[in-house]
Structure 1
Amino acid sequence: MKRKMMGIVAGWLLVYAGAIEAQTVSGRVVDEAGKPLDAVSVVLQRSDSTFVGAVVTDTTGIFCFDPAVFPYRLVLQHLAYAPKEWTGTSEQTGDIPLTANDRALQEVVVTAERPLVQVEDGKLGYDLSVLAEQRIVNNAFEALAELPGITEKDGTLSLAGASSLTIVLNGKPTTMTASQLETLLRNTPVDRVEKAEVMYSAPPEYHVRGAAINVVLKKATDHSFSGEVSADYRNQYFNDGNANANFRYTTPKLAVDVMYGTANDKKMTKIDLYSRHMLQGQVHDIRNEEEIREKGWVHHLRGAFEYHLDDKNRVDVSYFGSYTPSYKGNSYTTGNFQESLLNKETDKRLHNVSLRYTSGFGLELGGDYTAYRMDNSQQMQVDYTDGSRKSFNLSGGQQIDKYTVYADQSHSLPENWTLGYGLSYDFARSRDYQVYQDVQGAVDAQDTHSDLKEHTADLYVSLGKQFGNGTHFSVSTTGEYYELGNYRRWAFYPQASFLWMIQPEHMLQVSLSSDKTYPDYWSMQSAVSYLDGYSEIHGTPGLRPANQYGLSGTYIWKQKYLLTAFFEHTNDYFTQSPYQASDRLALIYKMQNWDYMRQYGVVANIPFSAGSWYRAKYNALGMRMHQRCDDYFDIPFNRKKWVFVTWLDNTFKVGKHVSFELNGRYQSAAIQGTFDIQPLFNLEAAAKWTFAHEKASISIRGNDLLNTGYPKTEVRFKGQYLDMDNSFYNRSVTIHFVYRFGGYKEKKQKEVDTSRFRL
């Protein structure tokens, strides 16, 4: 008896020691007489019945889950005892008694609606596979666009209430640009993604600030081989398409991913421009119709290797390459002012390599390198209606080398406190050139050569606490040193996040964030480039970074209904806007810093369904915009506007293998600087058929069916008069085919007992 009591005491001490290091749920299972029961199955579930883990009690009746979730539900089962359910919010359950069962066990079936969103450590977590089942999506990027509050426009994702959104891969920074990361995600199958985490205020260990989506890829768990091949056909004036192949091999120790994709791009754009250009007291009516054609092949390659040194230490290495050889385009402009032809040819190459080490004691080390090379040539000829002419040949290029290294350390403290700190260093070098030849006429043929070096060093510290009922808060600050040429600046960026678990069905999340956005390297050059004989693009040396400050609050009901209020203020906001020059007939596009851009409003996300055949998602946004620039050429502005956006997505299931979609989106009139943006409406429809035991599928999607998804814009401001319409043939039809294979899992072989053999 004494030995037995010592075992019980020792067991409880071990459970207590483990609870100090990490958040756990532990307890003891006993019979009606208080004696411990071993071999009792204990299943840990979330409050919505989602499975988390399962253990079996030891000889002292003790069980322990590490890590755990709060609040939780325990399901206890034993053949000789009646099953029992136990709910709680504390780490210690104490003794849980079971009643002896003399009757035959009945079948137990637990049903529950799968939650749309899970909240962990202040992050809104979504299972993309659930969204993929409910919607017609073909890759990870399209699945992200289906998240509540997320919209996609021309390959860019935005989050309602946030002026900018950063995509993060596996919780760590990358030197790839947003468009390059978009390409990677469009070539990544949805089933390779474990989850997507949406944050209005990203924690500092992500090494990004402000709103972010963290895409977490699945890790190796067992022996398996799987793959996917797919192909697209698309018609948007021209016919084009792409083909992709993905393969994945895993063992408990390693995983290998290979992806290759190729696309034949063909694009056609038309822009109708009407300009009443005031020059020296005289109005010049200028009407242009610009027709832009582009075509070329694009290739993408990704390889990733993941190796588990042991149960807690892991190394990840990945490579991503993008190659666009001989991408050609031309722009032909006609009208009452000019006839011009611009021919372009571009060659782009990108290589990205990343290395990451994850330890078992909270340390993560990593590095990322991107090499980007772009060479281009242009030949332009303009014949004006007054008989004058200008022409030139131009060759240019850009070479960027960018490095990132980082180190992060986290500690689990007593009472569920966590401490984190880390640092990162970025270095980028951008070398650009632009050289004119065979220049005739009035051309600003200024050759440019630049060599920009950018240094960014960050150091952060964070503190967080998880309470027993699921409430969580974190606070952090990041100090940053930034240097670009002669521009040097120290800055501090505070961040805070608070999640209040009022009840399992009622949650409130509040986030405070600050961020800085840097202009791209090409915009900071002094070069002038030409779109045609009237429109020019001017670089802006000395363009300043934008500083953003945001506050948001999200109420979550039943883990699927979301209501968010937000406020965001951005100093030195920059964007490119057109201006009718006051000294000559030229339309100048130039990136400029504004005094500020401010917006605040409310967005609601409401999903609903009818049985298993119909699912819908309704979103509504109301927002007040305030934009001010006191140094905008010679026409300063201070403009305000209410903007309303509403969209409804509908999915209809016909049997198990056929589904349809009908989606609509409306946006009221908006502003951007001196621009007035007219209302727009986008209607799209889709259908999907799954066959071959759900290994293959064919889908068809029609986008912007009414050709009203791209707005017309106009300027009526302080003598500026400009109309632009690029709504020509924006509707598209895409047919997608995918076939998944593999899923092989190595069978476990029965081991031969050789314990009594002499080997």
Structure 2
Amino acid sequence: MKQIKIISGLLLSICTSVSLWSQTTGKIIDTKQQPVEGATIVMQQPDSTYLGAAISAPDGTFVLEQESDNYLLIIQHLLYHVKQVKGQTADAGIITLEQKDYNLDEVVIKGERPLVKVENGRLGYDLSVLSEKQVVNNAYEAITKLPGVQENNGTLSLAGASSLTIMMNGKPTTMTPEQLETLLRNTPVNRVEKAEVMYSAPPELHVREAVINVVTKRSHDYSFQGELSTNYQNRYFSSGGVNGNFRLSTPKVTLDIMYGADNIRTMEYTDLFSRHALNNNVYEITQNEKLNSKSWMHNVRTALEYNINEKNRLDVAYTGNFTPNGHSRSIADGSFQQSDLDKFTDNKMNNITVRYSSGIGLEVGGDYTRYTSDNNQAMFTQLSDKSENSYTLIGGQRIDRYSVYADQKHNLANNWGIGYGVSYRYAKDYDFQTYNNVTGNIKPENTVARLNEQTTNFYFSLSKNWATGTSLSVSATGEYYTIGNYHKWAVYPQASLTYLKSPQHTFQLSLSTDKTYPGYWDMQSSVTYLNGYSELQGTPGLRPMTNYNLNGTYILKQKYIFGLFYMHTSDYFAQTPYQAIDRLALIYKNTNWNYMRMVGANVILPFSIGNWYDVRLTLVGMQARQKCNQFFDVPFDRKKWLFAGTLDNTFKVGKNLSFELTGNIQTPFIQGTLDLASSFNLTAGMKWNFAKDRCSLTVRCSDIFNSSMPDMKVRFKGQYLDMNPGFYTRTVSLNFTYRFGGYKKQKIKGVDTSRFGH
């Protein structure tokens, strides 16, 4: 109760804050009603006293941090006639520029858009430009094409960052990374305005690690548009699905509706050889395991954006993800045992988000997620000595997660700024599994567990922007965290400095700290039998890991990126296999290490030849040290160098046809006692736009040589294990998309979107 009173007091304090600034906004368009980007807007008083200046955004909007009862705007652009507009209100409205007439003889003007723009310490990428030639079909696939981003088995990583969070429109969510990925895979790339990459996220984002913030476009007019798509995929089995996205907008209201259905079938195949030492004997165990699964996945999203007035906006969104009647079957056959495991699942996720943005720099919001999972299992195992083990299991998980937040910003004199805010998150987790019909020599335990988790954060930030483009931000976030009997106070400092010597030379230095908490199920005292030899154990008392990141980045000519990084993670946890010393069992279990430390460098080099060939080379080199004094009876302290390279080639044939060829290679690495072999992935694709760009067809074959999954082995202090999971990773996919847009009314009053997406 005391905590609730404290939080309520902070929220009340923030909500009653008075803004120290005001703004003048407007929009620049041409005579064809298209937005004009890059126009310079100079604001003066009638006596020519300078008040401020701004540059129009890609959607034509601009924001001047000054407001005057009587002002003159001077709008200039290389391709348009200079225009002067007098005004007296904070909304300058829509300003139309007339194009200049150029008669050029034997003069060719060539321009190249910058790969990256640095704004307030954020690396901004225009996804529509990056993906216009790439073989991508949705926002998630476009993110994988960002410089320094790598996807490995559905997990995204950023070169130089120990962990990565994906966000939409700069606000926290209680959805899991997997659920957010599903949403992005169903989001058209043309609905995304830009992607912001931050190695040290500002505290108002309510995360403290590296972040990619996906900013969606806002509508400013009367329109109706949509997109219908269908896809086919073959990865041993054939899968496919359909997706529909529709948007209806007015200057006041925008309604988005999305629905997607996918029929998913997968196959995983693993070869295992274990030389297991037990009671002075060595048992050689061979095992082949096939795991196939099938399910239908339904995704739905409805989002409503309501512009109350020029400075106040309310957003409400519902997202649902449903996977009913999922079925997977694991068949393991080997020298030690033969087993058959059937599993039936039913998963549901419902999420609702509410967000209010005010004209005084205040944002408040809330988020709720309800997740339920039910699974029934039946396993039968026959061991080499003809003994049999079997069981049936009924299990499930119920999670309710709530979050609320409030953030306040003030712009002060001389381009100084302060920010402060508070957030509270509560999660209630209920896990259970009950064994029945147990026979043989196994000792399953019934589990009923309840966890209540609370996280309270409050922060203060200070920032400074110079006219040269240089910026500085520092912040400190205090956190009080409880789960069960675990209580912890912590302070997380963060800092980011961007030095813009000129548009050709940008330097950035960032420091961030964070904690990563284990999954709820990982902290239970449960045992799940995967087959007659392998089992998955929970870890009660598993501690969160603390991450410290230091990154330095140099950007040359707004496209060549050079980086150095240092990462140290205390109490790092990972799942590493272990051969038990008291029985023939292979145990998978998360354990806390002393630390995991990495230091290295990365280089991103894009090149182009004319308008037909683009290539981007990404190189990463680093040394990792991993130490654990309490890993069962085999403590380790290991070091390893890793080098990785990606070459992304895009060939454009004519206006509407493009091809891509991407190769990725990684040298051997380590994970605890595991040794990971080198891996290689070659992907080829084609994209064809036709019917006046209303239709597109993409074809892709990824992991052509079936070599993206590395072989794994353990040769450490008597542990001897070989695993090869790299079967059936080659994937052929096709995607067809049809876009349409109906009624569209022009010449409407612009809406202030200067604060949207942050």
Matched with 2:470 is: 471
For 2:4, the equivalent position in structure 1 comes to: none
Please tell me the residue identity of whatever aligns with 2:702: N
The alpha carbon displacement at 1:128 in A equals 0.5
Distance 1:105 1:666, change over 3 A: closer
Deviation sequence 1:278-301 (CA, Å, 0-9, x none): 001111000000000100101000
Matched-pair contact (CA < 8 Å) for 2:42–2:75: no
- 2:103 counterpart of 1:116: no
User: Which amino acid letter does the alignment assign opposite residue 648 of structure 1?
Assistant: L
Instruction: Give the deviation of 1:53 after TM superposition.
Output: 5.4
Matches of 1:323 and 1:78, distance apart in 2: 52
Structure 1 position 422 matched with structure 2 position 409: no
Q: CA deviation at 1:154?
A: 1.7
CA contact (8 A) 1:644 1:667 kept: yes
Counterpart CA distance in 2 for 1:409 and 1:695 is 42
Counterpart residue identity of residue 638, structure 2 = R
- What are the residue-to-residue correspondences of 1:123-138 with 2, within 5 Å? 123-138=122-137
Residue 38 (structure 2) aligned to one of 51, 54, 66? 51
Question: Which amino acid is the alignment partner of residue 51 of structure 1?
Answer: G
Q: Does 2:574 align with 1:575?
A: yes
Alignment of 1:155-234 (within 5 A): 155-234=154-233
- The residue number in structure 2 matching 1:490 is 489
The answer to whether the Cα contact below 8 Å between 2:347 and 2:372 also exists between their aligned partners in 1 is yes
Correspondence list, 1:222-301, <5 A: 222-301=221-300
Aligned to 1:629: 628
Deviates more, 1:109-118 or 1:404-413: 109-118
- CA distance in 1 between partners of 2:627 and 2:278 (Å): 26
Paired residues of 2:38 and 2:56 also in contact (CA < 8 A):
no
Is contact 2:40-2:53 (8 Å) kept? Answer: no
Q: Which amino acid aligns with 2:267?
A: M
- Map 1:327-342 → 2, pairs under 5 A: 327-342=326-341
Does the Cα contact within 8 Å between 1:444 and 1:528 map onto a contact in 2? no
Task: Answer whether contact 2:38 2:55 (CA < 8 A) is retained.
Answer: no
Structure 1 residue 136, shift from structure 2 partner: 1.2
Q: Partner amino acid for 2:376? A: S
Please report how far the alpha carbon of residue 224 of structure 1 lies from its aligned counterpart in structure 2 after TM superposition.
Answer: 1.1
CA distance in 2, matches of 1:42, 1:690: 27
Give the match for residue 92 of structure 1: none
Contact 2:675 2:712 in 1 (8 A): yes
- Taking the aligned partners of 2:188 and 2:144, their CA distance within structure 1 comes to 14
Q: Is the 8 A contact 1:458 1:478 kept in 2?
A: yes
Displacement after TM superposition at 1:21 (Å): 3.8
The 1-side partners of 2:121 and 2:130 are apart by 21
Inter-CA distance 271–415: structure 2 relative to 1 (3 Å threshold):
same
Amino acid at match of 1:687: M
Q: Which amino acid aligns with 1:645?
A: A
Query: Aligned partners of 2:433, 2:205: CA distance in 1, in Å?
Result: 36
Closer, same or farther: CA 634–110 of 1 in aligned 2, 3 Å: same
Residue correspondence of structure 1 range 334-733 to structure 2 within 5 A: 334-733=333-732
Deviation at 1:105, TM superposition (A): 7.0
SS of alignment partner, residue 51 of structure 1: coil
Judged with a 3 Å threshold, the aligned counterparts in structure 2 of structure 1 residues 353 and 267 are, in CA distance, closer, same or farther, namely same
Structure 1 residues 133 and 106, CA gap change in structure 2 (3 angstroms): closer
Which amino acid in the other structure matches residue 374 of structure 1?
S
2:141 maps to 142
The 1:527–1:128 alpha-carbon spacing in structure 2 relative to 1, beyond 3 Å, is same
CA distance in 1, matches of 2:691, 2:437: 61
Larger relative CO (CA 8 A, sep 6+): 1 or 2? 2
Separation (CA, whole Å) in 2 of partners of 1:330 and 1:53: 63
Which has the higher Rg, Structure 1 or Structure 2? 1
CA shift for structure 1 position 220:
2.3
- Distance between the aligned counterparts of 1:283 and 1:676, measured in 2? 21
Q: Is the 8 A contact 1:22 1:66 kept in 2?
A: no
Q: Secondary structure at the match of 2:137?
A: coil
The one-letter code matched in structure 1 to 2:406 is A
Paired residue secondary structure (1:640):
strand
Between stretches 220-229 and 712-721, larger displacement belongs to 220-229
2-side partners of 1:123 and 1:23: how far apart? 22
Q: Are the equivalent residues in 2 in contact too, given 1:23–1:68 (CA < 8 A)?
A: no
**How far did residue 23 of structure 1 move?**
9.4
Partner-residue secondary structure (3-state), 1:183: helix
| 1:9-48 matched pairs, under 5 angstroms | 21=21
> What percent identity do the matched residue pairs reach?
53
2:180 partner SS:
helix
Give CA deviations for 1:30-68 in whole Å, capped at 9, x if unaligned: xxxxxxxxxxx999xxxxx96155579886567866655
Q: Are the structure 2 counterparts of residues 624 and 671 from structure 1 closer, same or farther at C-alpha, using a change threshold of 3 Å? A: same
Letter in 2 for 1:586: A
TM-score if structure 2 supplies the norm length?
0.88
Aligned length: 690
Cα distance change, pair 729–78 in 1 and its aligned pair in 2 (3 A)? closer
Distance in 1 (alpha carbons) for counterparts of 2:103 and 2:76: 14
The amino acid of 1:196's aligned partner reads A
Please report how far the alpha carbon of residue 705 of structure 1 lies from its aligned counterpart in structure 2 after TM superposition: 0.3
Per-residue Cα deviation, 1:547-570 (whole angstroms, up to 9, x for no partner): 000100000011111001000000
Residues 559 and 630 of structure 1, relative CA distance in 2, 3 Å threshold: same
Write out per-residue CA displacement over residues 179-236 of structure 1, whole angstroms, 9 at most, x where no aligned residue. 0000000000001111110000000000000101111111121111110010111111
Q: Per-residue displacement from partner, 1:217-274 (whole Å, max 9, x unpaired)?
A: 1112111111001011111111111110000111111100000000000001100000
- Deviation string for 1:454-479 (max 9, x for gaps)? 00000000000000100000000000
Q: CA deviation at 1:161?
A: 1.2
User: Residue 744 of structure 1: CA displacement?
Assistant: 3.5
- Match of 1:143, SS? helix
Cα distance in 1 for residues equivalent to 2:473 and 2:282: 59
Task: Confirm or deny: 8 A CA contact 2:571 2:594 kept in the other structure.
Answer: yes
Q: Distance in 2 between matches of 1:749 and 1:525?
A: 58
The CA distance in 2 between the partners of 1:245 and 1:65, in whole Å, is 44
Residues 41 and 76, structure 2, Cα contact 8 Å, conserved in 1: no
What is the deviation of 1:134?
A: 2.8
Does structure 1 retain, via aligned residues, the 8 Å contact 2:551–2:565?
yes
3-state SS of 1:455 partner = strand
CA shift, 1:424, in A, is: 0.1
Q: Is the 8 A contact 2:44 2:52 kept in 1?
A: no
The 1:466–1:580 alpha-carbon spacing in structure 2 relative to 1, beyond 3 Å, is same
Letter in 1 for 2:425: D
Amino acid across the alignment from 2:249: T
CA RMSD of aligned residues (A): 2.5
Secondary structure of 2:132 counterpart: helix
- The one-character-per-residue Cα deviations of 1:404-442 (angstroms, maximum 9, x if unpaired) are 000000000001000000000000000000100000011
Instruction: Compare 155-164 and 255-264 and name the one that shifted more.
Output: 155-164
Residue 736 of structure 1: aligned partner? 735
How many angstroms apart in 1 are the aligned matches of 2:182 and 2:465? Answer: 37
